[in-house]
């Protein structure tokens, strides 16, 4: 009997789900019609690489971390293995902006704590008093309770305010665009909790992890990045990250993907013998035996509201932040700074327009010709919603002022591309894991239904891929059981 599965949302999670649904159905001999409905004009969601003249711009994400293997494994499975590129071997360092100075992140420092003592003692990033407070971590006792704690509370408690303001907030903020006083440590960086639980002191745990990694002892790979940033863990694709969603689209059955198709709601069919779900777009109803909802949680909440109000309520409980990327092209000779790194982060206490900045053409080869520099700025996030709201001109002026202060660049860029990503970054606030467990519980009660996307099990591309693949496995198992 022919079945139909509908995937709502063609971001990377929805595309990974669609691809895997198709593969698994074929492997298991299921006759499955696949429909992928995407409200936007193109697939890929926030992944959006584009060429402008002789530069290759990433308007959304620019890197995949391979420590979480699912995105790289998918690239290899779909024939993109030889199109993977690593970060440039030179200039593998990043900076933190304090005042008008870029301070290198000390070697072996990871997010909030050092794994190497000499670079930490020598760094100009922290004051003497700040370093002394961080060193107190060596003697402070473990926390006695096990409740979820915010990143801000955790770092202030173990390492002090300066470690939070100058390192953890901007570095973690760069990944989660989050408010550290709301961000759940357990949901985002459980390894630091584990370090405290096992070793008591984070610094001792980091030093031990680095020694194990250096000695190649068991578990070293898992603890590798805890020993310091490892730029070799980041990859992209030769023509930008959009190569991945584009290839997934090519592999879908012909006609499966329908762009510019906004799903308004899905409803359950209770008529015996009929398909379980009806998916309503503007003007069309599509019956489906299985549905994968792979939109941001707030969009999913609207879509599922009439069929599962409690699930919708919980999905709406996940906050989102908006952020913008601004790609700027400069002539190399117009930037006096050596650009001897991959970019910098800006602590919120500095109150600049910029949250972070990537020297894109230094980080990856082939992004700009040798006489040009491609710089990508981040603006907005949970702490600076008003910066995200700025009109284009003010945003560009603010960024140019920051780049003037920090890179001494006075010349105007030859090209500026602003990309706004409204309510695109799920906020893993304190209590996130419990909320997600409740959501998965509610979703699990709905037959032939699965959720996927960055809101649930990790914000990055690898976790989004995994969430789509897990949803597909669940739906195919359900369909194969014949209960669909
Ligand atoms: C600016 C930025 C930079 C980032 N940088 C990185 C990075 O370098 N590395 C990394 O790993 N991660 C990064 N991330 C995070 C990562 O890119 C995303 O979390 C991931 O791509 C999300 O994929 P997704 O499929 O869950 O969601 P999305 O990409 O948001 O896709 C959801 C899709 O659903 C569609 N949709 C919504 N409503 C409907 C509807 N009613 N009907 C039909 N379709 C609908 C949307 O149009 C969209 O295409 C970044 C994110 C942003 C915003």
The predicted structure's pLDDT at residue 166: 98
Handedness of CA 366, 368, 373, 378 (dihedral sign): negative
Percent helix, strand, coil in the chain (nearest 5)?
A: 40, 25, 35
Query: Which of 380, 454, 463, 469 has the most ligand 1 atoms within 8 A of CB, as the residue to mutate?
Result: 454
Query: What percent of the chain stands above pLDDT 70?
Result: 96
- Give mean pLDDT, residues 469-483: 90
Measured between alpha carbons, how far is 260 from 8 in angstroms, rounded to an integer?
12
Domain with CATH 3.90.660.20 in the chain: 63-90+320-426
Mutation pick for ligand 1 pocket among 15, 44, 61 (CB with most ligand atoms within 8 Å) = 61
CB contact set of 150 (below 8 Å; sequence gap of 6+): 180, 181, 182, 183, 184, 185, 430
Residue span(s) of the chain under CATH 1.10.3110.10 come to 108-224
Is pLDDT of 122 > 80?
Answer: yes
pLDDT tens per residue, range 71-120: 999 999 999 999 999 999 989 999 999 999 999 999 999 999 999 999 99
pLDDT in tens, 411-442: 999 999 999 999 999 999 999 999 999 999 99
Task: Concatenate the DSSP letters of all residues of 373-394 into one string.
Answer: EEEEEEEETTT-HHHHHS-HHH
CATH architecture of the domain formed by 63-90+320-426:
Alpha-Beta Complex (3.90)
Residue nearest (by alpha carbon) to ligand 1 atom 48 = 45
Residue closest via CA to ligand 1's atom 4 equals 61
For 438-463, how does the pLDDT look when each residue is reduced to its tens digit (9 = 90+)?
999 999 999 999 999 999 999 999 99
- Contact 266/291 with Cβ under 8 angstroms? yes
| Residue 335 confidence (pLDDT) | 96
Could you please state the CATH topology (level 3) that the domain comprising 108-224 is classified under.
Answer: protoporphyrinogen ix oxidase, domain 3 (1.10.3110)
End-to-end CA distance of the chain: 10
| DSSP bridge pairs for 323 | 380, 421
Protein residue whose Cα sits closest to atom 41 of ligand 1? 263
| Structure tokens given for 55 | 């530069």
- Measured from the Cα of 15, ligand 1's closest atom is 25
Instruction: Work out the pLDDT band at 144, boundaries 50, 70, 90.
Output: confident
Can you give the pTM of this predicted structure? 0.95
How many percent of the chain have pLDDT more than 90? 90
pLDDT for 221 = 43
Q: What is the CATH number of domain 3-45+243-318+428-480?
A: 3.50.50.60
Gap between the Cα atoms of 443 and 462, Å rounded: 22
Average pLDDT of the residues in 265-292: 92
pLDDT > 60? residue 55: yes
Distance from C-alpha of 75 to C-alpha of 72, rounded to nearest angstrom: 5
Closest-CA residue, ligand 1 atom 8, reads 61
Whose CA is closest to 120, among 209, 208, 206, 217?
206
User: What is the pLDDT, as a whole number, of residue 228?
Assistant: 59
What does the alpha-carbon distance between residue 220 and residue 226 come to, in Å, rounded to a whole number? 10
How far apart are the C-alpha atoms of 436 and 467, rounded to whole Å? 13
Instruction: Write out residues with Cβ below 6 Å of ligand 1.
Output: 8-14, 37-40, 45-47, 60-64, 262-263, 294-296, 299, 303, 323, 325, 421, 424-425, 453-454, 459-461, 464
Locate CATH 3.50.50.60 in the chain.
Answer: 3-45+243-318+428-480
- Rg, C-alpha atoms of the chain: 23
Centre of ligand 1 to C-alpha 366, Å, is: 25
- Is the pLDDT at 397 greater than 50, yes or no? yes
CB 211 within 8 A of CB 5: no
Q: Report DSSP letters for 434-464, one per residue.
A: HHHHHHHHHHHTSTTEEE-STTTS-SSHHHH
SS3 state of residue 5: strand
Per-residue pLDDT reduced to its tens digit, 179-226: 999 999 999 999 999 999 999 999 999 999 988 888 764 444 444 455
Q: Which atom of ligand 1 is nearest to the CA of 467?
A: 26
- Whole-angstrom distance, CA of residue 445 vs CA of residue 433: 19
Helix ranges (H only) for 352-431 are 360-363, 385-389, 392-407
| pLDDT given at position 356 | 96
Q: Which of 411, 328, 409 has its CA nearest to residue 376?
A: 328
Lookup: tokens for 65: 């971390």
- Which residue has the least CA distance to atom 1 on ligand 1? 60
Q: What is the pLDDT of residues 339-364, one digit of tens each?
A: 999 999 999 999 999 999 999 999 99
- Report the Cα 484 to chain-centroid distance in Å: 34
314 Cα: distance to centroid of ligand 1 (angstroms): 20
Q: What is the mean pLDDT of the chain?
A: 94
Phi, psi of 141 (to 5 degrees): -75, 165
């Amino acid at each position: 009997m022919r079945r139909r599965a509908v995937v709502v949302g063609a971001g990377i999670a929805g595309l990974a789900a669609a691809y895997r649904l198709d593969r698994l159905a074929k492997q298991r001999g299921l006759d499955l019609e696949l429909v992928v409905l995407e409200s936007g004009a193109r697939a890929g969601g926030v992944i959006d690489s584009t060429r402008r003249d002789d530069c290759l711009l990433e308007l959304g994400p620019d890197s995949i971390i391979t420590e979480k293997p699912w995105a790289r494994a998918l690239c290899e499975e779909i024939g993109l293995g030889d199109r993977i590129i690593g970060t440039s071997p030179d200039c593998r360092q990043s900076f933190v902006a304090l005042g008008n100075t870029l301070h290198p992140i000390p070697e072996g420092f990871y997010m909030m704590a050092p794994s190497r003592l000499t670079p930490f003692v020598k760094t100009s990033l922290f004051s003497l008093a700040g370093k002394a407070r961080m060193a107190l971590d060596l003697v402070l006792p473990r926390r006695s309770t096990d409740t979820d704690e915010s990143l801000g509370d955790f770092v202030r408690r173990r390492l002090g305010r300066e470690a939070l303001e100058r390192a953890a907030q901007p570095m973690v903020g760069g990944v989660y665009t989050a408010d550290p006083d709301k961000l759940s440590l357990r949901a985002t960086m459980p390894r630091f909790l584990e370090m405290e639980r096992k070793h008591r002191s984070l610094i001792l745990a980091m030093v031990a992890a680095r020694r194990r990694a250096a000695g190649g002892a068991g578990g070293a790979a898992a603890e590798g990045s805890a020993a310091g940033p490892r730029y070799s863990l980041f990859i992209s694709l030769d023509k930008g990250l959009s190569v991945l969603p584009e290839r997934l689209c090519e592999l879908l059955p012909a006609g499966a993907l329908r762009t510019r198709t906004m799903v308004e709601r899905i409803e359950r069919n209770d008529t015996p013998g009929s398909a379980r779900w009806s998916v309503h777009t503007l003007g069309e109803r599509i019956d489906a035996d299985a549905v994968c909802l792979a939109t941001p949680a707030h969009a999913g909440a609207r879509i599922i509201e009439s069929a599962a109000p409690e699930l919708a309520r919980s999905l709406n409980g996940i906050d989102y932040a908006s952020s913008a990327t601004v790609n700027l092209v400069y002539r190399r000779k117009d930037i006096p700074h050596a650009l001897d790194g991959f970019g910098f982060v800006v602590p919120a206490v500095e109150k600049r327009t910029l949250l972070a900045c990537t020297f894109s053409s230094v980080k990856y080869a082939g992004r700009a010709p040798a006489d040009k520099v491609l710089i990508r700025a981040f603006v907005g996030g949970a702490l600076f919603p008003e910066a995200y709201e700025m009109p284009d001109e003010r945003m560009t002026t603010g960024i140019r002022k920051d780049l003037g202060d920090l890179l001494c660049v006075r010349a105007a860029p030859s090209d500026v591309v602003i990309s706004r990503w409204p309510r695109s970054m799920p906020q893993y606030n304190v209590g996130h894991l419990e909320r997600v467990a409740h959501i998965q519980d509610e979703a699990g009660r709905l037959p032939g239904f699965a959720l996927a996307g960055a809101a649930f099990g990790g914000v990055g591309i690898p976790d989004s891929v995994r969430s789509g693949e897990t949803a597909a496995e669940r739906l195919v198992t359900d369909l194969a059981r014949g209960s669909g």
